[in-house]
Amino acid sequence: MRRLNLKMIRLLLVVSIVFNVLFFGYAVRKIIWKYGQYIELKKTKNVQPDSVTYFSSRNDMFKKLPKDSNEIIMLGNSHTQNFEWHEMFKNVNIKNRGINGDVTKGILRRLNEVIESNPKKVFIEIGINDLLHGYYVDTVLNNYIKIIQRIRVQSPQTKIYIQNILPTKLTIYNTKKPVIDSIYVLNKRLKDYCAINNLTYIDLFSRFEIEGELNPKYDCGDHLHLNGSGYIEWCSLIKDYIYELK
């Protein structure tokens, strides 16, 4: 009996050692992975000085431009910045408020400038950079909701249009995980939020997506941004909303 108890104690000791080694190894791998994520996110959150200067100078320019309540604001990141909306629609009241590389927090920081004129309409396109930087869908959606709520409180007469996120086959930075999975989820949750809160939801994604990525005929070459044909297609999706009377 005593010999049996000793064997049991040895077996339990071996099992305990093996379990602790495995757990320690898992913990070390997890810490290394998390540290790698932290370093990458730090790089993307704390953008390089030239990007900070670019954001600040462009936003400062926006502050200096004349404003009036007939404005139609195109608000977003590089997708929005990269097109001459007012020329396409032959409407000088359309103001481009896109900033290359912008994220939902960036929109929140500069939102006062956007809505201080009490614009007629705001077309919002934002979120892909958040997702590519590894932010959770919940975080991006919560920032999106804050943007919408602030517009409704500070400029209640402004009509809000939510344009969902365009497809891309790119992966989340510093990972091999396709960002398209997060895009699907965020777009679905944005659509649900708009339906509940009486907001106009414009589905860009479905028009540009093919087999889980950006349709090559609309791709400028980087699998993320649009070419001229892509922007013509985008305009066809929003033209009725641009021209509709309130």
> Residue 83's pLDDT is what?
97
Q: Which residues contact 239 (CB under 8 A, 6 or more apart)?
A: 89
pLDDT at 45 over 70: no
> Residue 46's pLDDT is what?
42
pLDDT at 14 over 50: yes
Longest CA–CA span in the chain (Å) reads 94
CATH code for the structural domain at 68-243: 3.40.50.1110
Share of the chain above pLDDT 70, in %: 78
Q: For residues 213 and 235, give the distance between their C-alpha atoms in angstroms, rounded to a whole number.
A: 20
Q: Characterize 192-223 residue by residue with b for buried, 16 or more Cβ atoms within 10 angstroms of its Cβ, and e for exposed.
A: ebbeeeebeebebbebbbeeebbbeebbeeee
> Residue 22's pLDDT is what?
63
> Residue 69's pLDDT is what?
82
Where exactly are the structural domains of the chain? 68-243
pLDDT at 174 over 60: yes
Q: For residues 184 and 38, give the distance between their C-alpha atoms in angstroms, rounded to a whole number.
A: 25
Instruction: Kindly state the tokens that stand for 133.
Output: 């930087």
Q: H or E element: which one contains 137?
A: helix 137-154
pTM for the complete prediction?
0.78
